Structure 1
Amino acid sequence: MNIKGIKLKVTLLLILCWSISQAGLGQTNKGRLVEHIVRKSETVYSIAQRYGTSVEKVYELNPWAKDKIKDGDKLMVLSTLDSLEIASQQTRTHRIEAGETVYRICRMYDISEEALLRANPGISASHFPIGVELRIPASTTTHTTDSLSHEEREEHKAKREAIKVLLMLPFKGMPRHVEFYEGFLMGMNDLKKDGISINLTALDIPDLNTLKHHVSSGILYGHDLVIGGISDDQIQLIASKMPSEGLYVIPFSSQEYSNLKASNFIRINQPAREVVARAIPKFLDKYNGYKIYLAGRNQDREEPFADELKKSLKQSGSDVRYIDLDRQTTVNDLPARSVVVPVSSSRDLGLKLFSAISHNNCTIFGYPQWQSYGTDFLSKARKYNATIYSSFFFDPESPDGKLFLTKYRAWFNKKTGNNYPKFSVLGYDMARYFIRGYASLGLELTTHSHLLPSDGLQLDIELDRMVEANGFGNMKFYFVTYAQDGSIQRISL
């Protein structure tokens, strides 16, 4: 064993000896010291939730776990739950059957969606495979308040620290922002069912002067999460005055901010350049062994995805094959394992390509804009099992998508707008992610976001420090396949 390994074992031994001496052979006035054997797909976050403790407390007893944990590792955990509660979480299981959803399972076992997803890393509303065995946690209320009287429960709720959220957007005459706010309220409602207390302040910010007035009054102080700013000057102002005790979330802008005077800001919308840079390697992995073709006409301007793909193919020594749709009105000699990429996201180019390819042995790879071109366009794309890349994707025909749209109409007596992305769903996803993330991780949300389930209806989130700035950005995107059988397959990457 090397010196580093010896030091690590000595450190662990000292920690365990201190814990046992404090605990009286496994008991403390704050919980029980237990040994947990890590199972496949578990994370430090899910283990902490299982035993009613925090990630930080797990790391205190197991500093080596900050690097990585794997199946079979042993962790010492200071649990706040009794043995019966822990056992109930470890033994209850449910095998997913056809037609079941996260929502239905949660109602079946009287648990929250958040609790189910925490107990089953890798499972989400959009990734819910038939046959997978779920771990069913005990009810959140069972852990905390079932043994209390009504008065004690109310006192327990009152003592919980509320997450303070400030939302600053122009609302008057801006129906998309109103929809974002409405979806945000729906997300908050879900979180409150999980026991998270929230104080929301929503301000109408029609112009920069109004924002300056509110900022000068000190409105940013005392809030855990500040979400807003739609123009560069508004974003610059909020960032320059944002206190270090909170997180600033830029909801819509995809600008590359290299000079913001804040290190605790988060940009959600990714610049197209960054999405393309992440999507190209995934494309090459997905179509490894395929013949790759670029298709276009003289009038089509080559977009960044096609341009970067061409560069990557040349760097790898692969041939760059072209289909000239001005000269070829019918393309019928492609090999079976081939993928065709139009050089631009143009709707007309897509339709031209669909009509030119006379057989469906090949597949087509397209662009985020395709999801906004209507059902007729997408039905033609299905003939070729077409796949697109996109930072945002919402399937209104999925069980969870239908449920959201039904709830939205019931809440607000109207349909959500037919826009891309859907701002109501965007508000819903961002409320659920950031509020529950801050409730669990505080300011460490930026560096430990991988511990949270990424289960957005339209937007999956995982944060990483941006190369060009001090802040953090979202790194997740989708590959979405419109299959010939009518299904939609969405893979979060």
Structure 2
Amino acid sequence: MKSLNKLVLLFSFIFITLSLFSQQRDSYFLHTVEKGQNIYSISSMYGVNQEDIIKLNPGSEKTIYTGQTLKIPQALTSHMKETFHTIAPGETLYRLTITYNVPAKTITDANPGLSAENFKAGEVIRIPIEEDTPETILKEDKVEETEKPKCKDMHKVKRKETIFSISRKYNLTENELIVANPEIKKGLKKGTWLCIPYSSAEKETETFIVDVQRTPPSNLELFNQNKEAPHRISTIKTAIILPFMLDGGHKQEALRMVEYYEGFLIAVDSLKRRGANIELHVFDSKNDANTIQQILNKKELKEMDVIFGPLHQQNVKLLADFSKQHNIRLVVPFTSKDDEVFNNPSIYQINTPQSYLYSEVFEHFTRQFPNANLIVLETTDGKDQYKREFIEGLSVMAKKNSFPIKTVNIDNIEQSLPTVESLIKTDKTNLFIPASGSDAALNKVIPLLQLIKGKQIEAPMHLFGYPEWQTYTSDRLQDFFDLDTYFYSSFYTNNLLPAAKNFINGYHKWYKKEMINTYPKYGMLGFDTGFYFLHGLATYGTDLENNLERIDLTPIQTGFKFDRVSNWGGFVNKKVFFVRFTNNYELIKLDFD
């Protein structure tokens, strides 16, 4: 009877093992689309071709939607160093350590965004495959016998227990226990879970029996054990690596980088006055990869807590790889067109990637205008700034929310006026949206809308546009007020607000000059990014990532709302404002969070 029970247990374990590995043996795993994701970002996240995703998901080349489940191809080869796993209902971290034959710490280290709280069905996690992981389990559909996992049991250390007493309890040598748990060389800690390995004699056994009666450690216990305890940072070691072009070069670019640094210095000074200790290292990268590599070779760079830079996309990977290797936060203040954030947990991308930006804009749009009528105005002028992806997303949003949407070419204002006028609906909020963000397009749009406004049609009407309109404000201010204009942006400042006035006065006092008239203003960007991260590190230390929403900051220009793109990736800034110029000459910044 005992032999029969053992046989039943053995086959039960094999069945469970095969079930848990089924998604890895298959050619794909499942991904649930999140807000702001598109096929490109998902393919970058998993390191697969867009075409391969589309093959498994017909129709996804046209559109995907939040909450949709996609099949993601996963090739299993003998050279594979990692696999992706979609957590199944009822699955636990402990079970995954047995299934994949890897320690819990290996899984938690590979997924910095994973916690006991968000360990739930549907989450995708990255699992490194160790070199000695049995490939037969991964590759074969049928398993004749099961390889032993490294741990036959888990033991929770009790008060006064020693390595010797635990070894004797499980018929192990002290060395066998230490080899399975190298960290105990520094001493045992009450409450810690230890891996109980098979003894030398047991390793010779062909099969093994799982103790189904033992209560395994919970997710919370394993996460608490394997996540490093946060600590304060006494001196925040900070590096700025930007192309200041001190030896000449692109003058305008250099001036913008200098202004960013000047704003950053004001933030450092402000924080030091509050008691923060900051050690600042500044390097001129000269926009040259060789120079950046020379900077990274400096001994002190490995000791940084945070690095700010670079300017250009082509240099991000060099800094990103270094930051990931040495576990240093990398704040990328400028480019939004780099993919490193999808697979590097150290990166903070300030400038929102377009798909995430538009997703936030459309969500805020439907909240602000729940009864919208959309009229898209096309012109030949400004084709170089045509907002194709935005207009396509606008059409999808309109369809989803049953908003009427029409597109009209207005190159000839007189001929197009009757058509545009006929599209206005008195029972809806009418939004006129240029298809281009250029000032040249506004040269056609504004006269047309002024003519319509002069007809005194009894219907709510607004002009709606783009972040770059901030640079046209000095010339278009009256028109923007007349047309009750909105535009969206991740960067915006009202120079009349106290925080902005104080910064501008401080900048004048320090540098005896005006900031460059650009969008965004680089001095303000330097202040906001410097203050946000350095204040966060001074307040929360190494636990910054769990307290991003708690950082106390009134930004001058830049809003911050960071979300991790995946359990193993970095952070993107999803903060978006709407700015409104009302008919009553009010300037309102709408913050939806």
TM-score bracket, shorter-length normalisation? 0.5 to 0.7
Aligned equivalents of 2:367 and 2:549: distance in 1? 23
SS of 1:455 mapped into structure 2: coil
Q: Which moved more, 1:240-249 or 1:405-414?
A: 240-249
Is the alpha carbon distance of 1:253 and 1:468 closer, same or farther for their aligned partners in structure 2, counting shifts above 3 Å? farther
Question: How many pairs are equivalent?
Answer: 340
**Cα distance, 1:65 vs. partner?**
11
Residue in structure 2 matched with residue 94 of structure 1 by the alignment:
none
Residue in structure 2 matched with residue 450 of structure 1 by the alignment:
549
- Report 1:46-445 matches (<5 A): 161-171=234-244, 172=246, 173=251, 174-206=254-286, 207-242=288-323, 243-258=325-340, 262-297=344-379, 300=383, 301-325=386-410, 326=412, 327-329=415-417, 332=421, 334-336=424-426, 337-357=429-449, 358-359=452-453, 361-445=460-544
Aligned equivalents of 2:260 and 2:341: distance in 1? 28
RMSD: 2.8
Aligned equivalents of 1:412 and 1:257: distance in 2? 36
**Cα distance, 1:302 vs. partner?**
4.9
* Alpha-carbon contact 1:367-1:388 (below 8 Å) kept: yes
Aligned equivalents of 1:261 and 1:291: distance in 2? 40
Q: Deviations over 1:409-436 (max 9, x none)?
A: 1101111111111000000001110001
Aligned equivalents of 1:386 and 1:402: distance in 2? 24
**Cα distance, 1:365 vs. partner?**
0.9
**Cα distance, 1:473 vs. partner?**
1.3
**Cα distance, 1:272 vs. partner?**
2.4
Aligned equivalents of 2:522 and 2:397: distance in 1? 34
Is the alpha carbon distance of 1:314 and 1:328 closer, same or farther for their aligned partners in structure 2, counting shifts above 3 Å? same
Q: Which amino acid aligns with 2:392?
A: D
Is the alpha carbon distance of 1:404 and 1:384 closer, same or farther for their aligned partners in structure 2, counting shifts above 3 Å? same
Q: Which amino acid aligns with 1:341?
A: I
Q: Which moved more, 1:269-278 or 1:296-305?
A: 296-305
Q: Which has the larger radius of gyration?
A: 2
Aligned equivalents of 1:461 and 1:343: distance in 2? 28
Aligned equivalents of 2:543 and 2:467: distance in 1? 32
Is the alpha carbon distance of 1:235 and 1:160 closer, same or farther for their aligned partners in structure 2, counting shifts above 3 Å? closer
Is the alpha carbon distance of 1:312 and 1:459 closer, same or farther for their aligned partners in structure 2, counting shifts above 3 Å? same
* Alpha-carbon contact 1:256-1:468 (below 8 Å) kept: no
Q: Which amino acid aligns with 2:436?
A: S
* Alpha-carbon contact 1:385-1:483 (below 8 Å) kept: yes
**Cα distance, 1:395 vs. partner?**
2.0
Aligned equivalents of 1:182 and 1:367: distance in 2? 28
Residue in structure 2 matched with residue 132 of structure 1 by the alignment:
none
* Alpha-carbon contact 2:260-2:526 (below 8 Å) kept: yes
* Alpha-carbon contact 1:230-1:252 (below 8 Å) kept: yes
* Alpha-carbon contact 2:373-2:403 (below 8 Å) kept: no
* Alpha-carbon contact 2:302-2:326 (below 8 Å) kept: no
Aligned equivalents of 2:532 and 2:489: distance in 1? 19
Q: Deviations over 1:283-322 (max 9, x none)?
A: 1221111322222235654532222111221234443233
Aligned equivalents of 2:551 and 2:518: distance in 1? 28
**Cα distance, 1:273 vs. partner?**
2.7
* Alpha-carbon contact 1:239-1:261 (below 8 Å) kept: no
Q: Which amino acid aligns with 1:319?
A: P
Q: Which amino acid aligns with 1:288?
A: P
* Alpha-carbon contact 1:386-1:481 (below 8 Å) kept: yes
Is the alpha carbon distance of 1:469 and 1:487 closer, same or farther for their aligned partners in structure 2, counting shifts above 3 Å? farther
SS of 2:301 mapped into structure 1: coil
Aligned equivalents of 2:377 and 2:262: distance in 1? 42
Is the alpha carbon distance of 1:162 and 1:66 closer, same or farther for their aligned partners in structure 2, counting shifts above 3 Å? farther
**Cα distance, 1:160 vs. partner?**
8.6
Is the alpha carbon distance of 1:244 and 1:339 closer, same or farther for their aligned partners in structure 2, counting shifts above 3 Å? same
Aligned equivalents of 1:160 and 1:374: distance in 2? 43
**Cα distance, 1:323 vs. partner?**
3.8
| Structure 1 gaps, min length 5 | 1-63, 68-158
Q: Which amino acid aligns with 2:293?
A: K
SS of 1:221 mapped into structure 2: helix
Query: Is 1:476 matched up with 2:575?
Result: yes
**Cα distance, 1:196 vs. partner?**
1.3
Aligned equivalents of 1:228 and 1:161: distance in 2? 23
Identity of matched residues, %: 25
Q: Which amino acid aligns with 1:388?
A: F
**Cα distance, 1:394 vs. partner?**
1.9
Is the alpha carbon distance of 1:191 and 1:223 closer, same or farther for their aligned partners in structure 2, counting shifts above 3 Å? same
* Alpha-carbon contact 1:306-1:342 (below 8 Å) kept: no
Aligned equivalents of 1:259 and 1:362: distance in 2? 39
Q: Which amino acid aligns with 2:350?
A: I
**Cα distance, 1:220 vs. partner?**
2.0
Is the alpha carbon distance of 1:354 and 1:169 closer, same or farther for their aligned partners in structure 2, counting shifts above 3 Å? same
**Cα distance, 1:263 vs. partner?**
2.0
* Alpha-carbon contact 1:313-1:319 (below 8 Å) kept: yes
SS of 2:416 mapped into structure 1: coil
SS of 1:420 mapped into structure 2: coil
Is the alpha carbon distance of 1:302 and 1:477 closer, same or farther for their aligned partners in structure 2, counting shifts above 3 Å? closer
Aligned equivalents of 2:470 and 2:304: distance in 1? 37
